[in-house]
Amino acid sequence: MLLLVLFTTIYRYAMDINQVFIRDIDISSVGHKRYLSSYGRVLNGVIDSVSKVGLINPVLIKRNTSNTMYTTVCGYQRILAFQELGLKSIAARIVVGLTDVELLLMSLHDNLFSRGFHDIEKAIILKNFQEIGYINKRLLTDIAPLLRIPQNEKLVERYISLLQLEKEVVDSVAKQELELEKAFLLIPLEDSERDCVYNLLYKETRTNVNEAKETLRNLLDLKLIKQTAIPELFMTKEIRDILQDKRRNKRQKGESLYRLIKHMRYPTISRKEAEFAQSIKELGLDNSIRINHAPFFEKDEVQITIKFSDEKNLKNHLERVLSHLRAGSIKNILPEQG
């Protein structure tokens, strides 16, 4: 229903198509992207389309009240493509009498159904509506569902905060090189910390999201415990040795860094985990039998999980476990009894 009203509004206020000089359309001032969300898009496809078949849909623009220039509402990429091709004018509908809310909704729906949005563009859209007076409640109820963002106030705030990150980070999110959850982790950090974490934990090494969360949490704990800034923590010899090791790929470096920082934060637990892992390795069990200790060794128990396909398979696995039990080697993995 909202979409129908919007397009009815377009034709009520902008029936005529005009040829407008590219030079008269503002594409460089501070506020020229007031209604736009495009970020990091490559023009090649648009340029190729325009050069082959011309302009299929006229762009939508409005005249500025302060000067004779026009502001783009819909079609920014098409305008840039025309400029790149050296074309002097473009077919445009000039809208008048519409509010900023109507123009933003127009731009939103135009792109929503033509190309969709990546995460940085979603952040820009939320920010644009916020700047014209949308309170968080309206962002949650009216805009977030259109962008397929869960109606969670903290999540919406995180999206908007992405735009405060360094350009390199924002570009990386836009290109889907950096996972959104990892980018969110950078937001609360100080500038020097953010730059260090991004370069050393996200660029030079590779971890999954859960490892990144735990590593950053441990780094922040170490910062308080040791009264040492995060960039200085990364200067330890052990960490530098991992980062400079050319024999390891990024994933291997990430795993090593994750384990080392965890050991730095929890040395006693890390030692116990290493001993536990060695004891399991000495049993020579395959991946069908998994033995796990309680989190942080908080309980005096271990859990054995057996994966089997039939009764015979189960019997063989149980016999292997029982043979270790009879030999007394199982006791090496059991918690020490106080």
Q: What is the 3-state secondary structure (H, E, C) of 75-95?
A: CHHHHHHHHHCCCCEEEEEEE
8 A C-beta contact, residue 174 and residue 120: yes
Task: Report if residue 3 sits inside a domain.
Answer: yes
Task: Report if residue 149 sits inside a domain.
Answer: yes
**How many Å separate Cα 63 from the centre of its chain?**
36
Task: Report if residue 273 sits inside a domain.
Answer: no
What does the alpha-carbon distance between residue 276 and residue 234 come to, in Å, rounded to a whole number?
28
8 A C-beta contact, residue 276 and residue 293: yes
Please identify every stretch of the chain with a pLDDT value under 50, giving residue numbers as ranges. Answer: 1-5, 11-14, 338
Element (H, E) at 204: none
Q: Largest alpha-carbon pair distance within the chain?
A: 91
Q: What are phi and psi of 14, to 5 degrees?
A: -140, 65
94 and 78 within one domain = yes
Give me the CATH number covering residue 107.
3.90.1530.10
Residue 188 tokens read as 């609360």
Which of 109-145 are b and which e, b meaning 16 or more Cβ less than 10 Å from the residue's Cβ? bbbbeeeebbbbbbbbbbbbbbeeebeeeebbeebbe
Which of 160-197 are b and which e, b meaning 16 or more Cβ less than 10 Å from the residue's Cβ? bbbeebeeebbebbbeeebbbebbbbbeebeeebbbbb
Handedness of CA 163, 147, 7, 57 (dihedral sign): positive
Task: Report if residue 328 sits inside a domain.
Answer: yes
What does the alpha-carbon distance between residue 104 and residue 111 come to, in Å, rounded to a whole number?
11
Beta-carbon-side half-sphere exposure of residue 92 (alpha carbons within 13 Å): 26
Beta-carbon-side half-sphere exposure of residue 321 (alpha carbons within 13 Å): 16
Residue 292 confidence (pLDDT): 86
181 and 142 within one domain = no
Residue 1 confidence (pLDDT): 44
Pairing of strands 89-95, 70-74: unpaired
Which of 261-274 are b and which e, b meaning 16 or more Cβ less than 10 Å from the residue's Cβ? bbbbbeeebbebbe
Amino acid 54 reads: G
Domain containing 155 equals 121-164
8 A C-beta contact, residue 174 and residue 40: yes
Instruction: Give the tens place of pLDDT for each residue, 61-81.
Output: 999 887 789 999 999 999 999
Q: What are phi and psi of 238, to 5 degrees?
A: -60, -40
Task: Report if residue 338 sits inside a domain.
Answer: no
Closest among 90, 46, 93, 49 to 73, alpha carbons compared: 93
Task: Report if residue 276 sits inside a domain.
Answer: no
Pairing of strands 302-306, 289-293: antiparallel
Domain count, the chain: 4
Instruction: Give the tens place of pLDDT for each residue, 204-242.
Output: 999 999 999 999 999 999 999 999 999 999 999 999 999
Task: Report if residue 270 sits inside a domain.
Answer: no
Amino acid 74 reads: C
135 and 112 within one domain = no
Residue 136 confidence (pLDDT): 85
- Other Cβ atoms less than 10 A from the Cβ of 17: the count is 12
109 and 53 within one domain = yes
257 and 235 within one domain = yes
What does the alpha-carbon distance between residue 12 and residue 106 come to, in Å, rounded to a whole number?
14
